[in-house]
């Protein structure tokens, strides 16, 4: 009787338990894993806002979350405290404060004051929300941009990818851009934009610009799909997409220039830079920002610029200038010899985003730089990171497909070995 029971356990019950355990395994897709990682990163990023000691106004490392920085922008700003009426709206679009013109930023601040009052904690919460929503839109925009690059490559090579493979590659690009955008969102250099209430317009601008870019990229992708299907001419569509809307941009530039005119006088700042110093500062600023992005150590609100240090005899500026020139030359080489214009466009975008804060045109407080200067230009790294991760996901899927037969055989061998060991143990 005992022998029969042992045989029953070894050959019937144990295999059933192993099979049921295998079926009960939690199967999580790659997208769900990425979603969990992003949610965890968001929770950790927001955790300082909900520390009890901070809410109790105790003195600790996070007490700055309850402190105003520039009282002139909030406590002494009658425009945002008086509500949204015609007079205040006119003032918002015609005035400057601390040499800054930000009408939509003041509108957002006025709305927050009307809803939650003058609460610096809520100002930072709204900035964080705008920052992460902008990162999500940026992830989608970057993925669509990578889809456009892949589609242009297919059009140039005159190849057609089957629907299943195309969807799988698009999914990998989306996953890669999600991770890349998450890294952008939690990067230490962007903490100033969230922790400094006066920098809230940066997050609003990031969200609006990301939405604008997404709408443009989405429309361009649809046009290229028609090109790929042979319905329209590719060159005509691309040229129309590039040059449309120039008049509106010129008008906005003129409005911004006139509104900031009062902040461009030399006597506005504590000291002024010569033309040669401003040119040197502008040409080395991209390398300065790039160094802060790649190695975010010893970050602080302002980096002091002492008189007389802007010179080629200064080794730091000489090295930054060399790095900037080497990066430009390498990008031009890629464009000419590798037919890779996307890198030149990325460099142009990076330089254009840095140019307003490079110091070429002196405005506001003169400093060596600020962490927030890296906010917009660092966006260009999201599609690069997404492309790299998408390739890793694609390589991993190919390896999994190649190893599927071997893995299935190995799994069956392990199951048989487990059953055999259990039987020997029970019969022994």
Give Cα separations from 259 to 72, 129, 198, 254, 304 (angstroms): 19, 29, 19, 9, 27
Q: Report the run of H or E that residue 92 belongs to, with start and end.
A: helix 86-92
**175 or 51: which leads in pLDDT:** 175
Q: Residue 108: name the closest of 133, 65, 74 by CA.
A: 74
Query: What distance in Å separates the CA atoms of residue 108 and residue 131, rounded to the nearest whole number?
Result: 14
| Out of 52-56, 75-79, 178-182, 384-388, least confident range | 52-56
125-150 per-position pLDDT tens digit: 999 999 999 999 999 999 999 998 88
Give the confidence band of 164 by pLDDT, cuts at 50, 70, 90. Answer: confident
- Give the model's pLDDT for residue 87: 86
| Range among 60-74, 234-248, 311-325 with highest mean pLDDT value | 311-325
| Range among 176-190, 222-236, 275-289, 351-365 with highest mean pLDDT value | 176-190
Side-chain-side CA neighbours of 336 within 13 Å: the count stands at: 6
Token digits of residue 115: 């809803």
**pLDDT, mean over the chain:** 76
Domain range enclosing 342: 273-361
Tokens 């990076």 map to which residue?
Answer: 350
153, part of any domain:
no
- Give the model's pLDDT for residue 20: 54
9, part of any domain:
no
The percent of residues in the chain predicted with pLDDT above 90, rounded, is 16
Query: What distance in Å separates the CA atoms of residue 126 and residue 124, rounded to the nearest whole number?
Result: 5
30-46 helix and 163-186 helix, angle to the nearest 10 degrees: 10
The distance of Cα 364 from the centroid of its chain, to the nearest Å, equals 26
- Give the model's pLDDT for residue 310: 79
- Give the model's pLDDT for residue 329: 92
Is the pLDDT confidence value at 4 over 60? no
Is the pLDDT confidence value at 15 over 90? no
Q: Are 204 and 311 in contact (CB under 8 A)?
A: no
304, part of any domain:
yes
Is the pLDDT confidence value at 362 over 60? yes
Query: What distance in Å separates the CA atoms of residue 47 and residue 65, rounded to the nearest whole number?
Result: 12
93-120 per-position pLDDT tens digit: 888 877 778 889 889 988 988 888 888 8
The runs of H, that is alpha helices, within 188-314 are: 191-195, 200-228, 234-243, 246-259, 275-294
| pTM greater than 0.85 (yes/no) | no
Q: Residue 177: name the closest of 224, 219, 129, 137 by CA.
A: 137
Q: Report the run of H or E that residue 15 belongs to, with start and end.
A: helix 14-23
The percent of residues in the chain predicted with pLDDT above 70, rounded, is 70
307, part of any domain:
yes
Q: Are 144 and 386 in contact (CB under 8 A)?
A: no
Q: Are 384 and 346 in contact (CB under 8 A)?
A: yes
384, part of any domain:
no
Tokens 């709408």 map to which residue?
Answer: 215
- Give the model's pLDDT for residue 135: 94
Give the confidence band of 252 by pLDDT, cuts at 50, 70, 90. Answer: low
Task: Give the residues across from 100 on adjacent strands.
Answer: 97
47-72 per-position pLDDT tens digit: 888 876 555 454 566 666 666 777 77
- Give the model's pLDDT for residue 364: 64
371-426 per-position pLDDT tens digit: 888 899 999 999 999 999 988 887 666 555 555 555 555 554 444 444 344 433 33
Contacts of residue 128, Cβ cutoff 8 Å, sequence gap at least 6:
45, 46, 49, 194, 203
| Range among 124-138, 164-178, 329-343, 365-379 with highest mean pLDDT value | 124-138
Sign of the C-alpha dihedral, residues 170, 176, 182, 187?
negative
Q: Residue 308: name the closest of 269, 281, 286 by CA.
A: 281
Q: Residue 124: name the closest of 173, 74, 164, 178 by CA.
A: 74
State the total domains in the chain: 1
201, part of any domain:
no
116, part of any domain:
no
204, part of any domain:
no
Number of H-type helices and E-type strands within the chain: 18, 0
């Amino acid at each position: 009787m005992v022998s029969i029971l042992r045989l029953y356990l070894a050959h019937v019950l144990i295999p059933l338990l192993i099979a049921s355990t295998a079926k009960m395994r939690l199967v999580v897709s790659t997208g769900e894993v990425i979603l969990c990682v992003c949610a965890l990163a968001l929770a950790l990023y927001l955790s300082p806002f909900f520390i009890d000691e901070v809410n109790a106004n105790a003195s600790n490392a996070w007490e700055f979350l309850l402190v105003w920085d520039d009282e002139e922008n909030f406590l002494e700003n009658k425009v945002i405290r008086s509500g949204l009426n015609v007079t205040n709206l006119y003032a918002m679009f015609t005035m400057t404060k601390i040499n800054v013109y930000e009408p939509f930023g003041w509108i957002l601040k006025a709305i927050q004051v009307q809803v939650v009052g003058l609460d610096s904690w809520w100002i930072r919460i709204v900035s964080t929300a705008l920052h992460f929503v902008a990162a999500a839109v940026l992830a989608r925009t970057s993925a669509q941009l990578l889809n456009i690059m892949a589609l242009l490559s297919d059009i140039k090579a005159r190849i057609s990818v089957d629907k299943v493979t195309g969807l799988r590659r698009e999914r990998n690009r989306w996953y890669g851009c999600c991770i890349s955008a998450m890294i952008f969102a939690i990067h230490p250099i962007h903490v100033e934009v969230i922790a400094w209430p006066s920098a809230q317009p940066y997050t609003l601008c990031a969200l609006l610009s990301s939405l604008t870019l997404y709408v443009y990229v989405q429309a361009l992708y649809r046009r290229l799909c028609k090109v790929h299907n042979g319905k329209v001419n590719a060159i005509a569509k691309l040229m129309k997409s590039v040059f449309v809307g120039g008049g509106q941009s010129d008008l906005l530039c003129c409005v911004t220039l006139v509104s900031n005119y009062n902040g461009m006088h030399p006597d506005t700042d504590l000291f002024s830079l010569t033309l040669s110093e401003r040119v040197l500062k502008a040409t080395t600023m991209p390398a300065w920002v790039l160094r802060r992005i790649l190695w975010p150590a010893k970050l602080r609100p302002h980096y002091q610029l002492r008189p007389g240090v802007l010179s080629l005899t200064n080794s730091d500026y000489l090295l930054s200038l060399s790095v900037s020139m080497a990066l430009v030359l390498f990008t031009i080489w890629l464009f000419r010899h590798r037919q890779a214009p996307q890198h030149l466009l990325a460099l142009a975008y990076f330089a254009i985003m840095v140019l307003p804060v490079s110091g070429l045109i002196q405005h506001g407080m003169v400093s060596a730089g600020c962490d927030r200067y890296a906010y917009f230009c660092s966006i260009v790294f999201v599609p690069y990171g997404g492309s790299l991760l998408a390739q890793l996901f694609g390589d991993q899927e190919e390896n999994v497909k190649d190893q599927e037969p071997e893995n299935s055989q190995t799994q069956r061998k392990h199951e048989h070995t487990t059953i055999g060991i259990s039987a020997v143990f029970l019969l022994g």
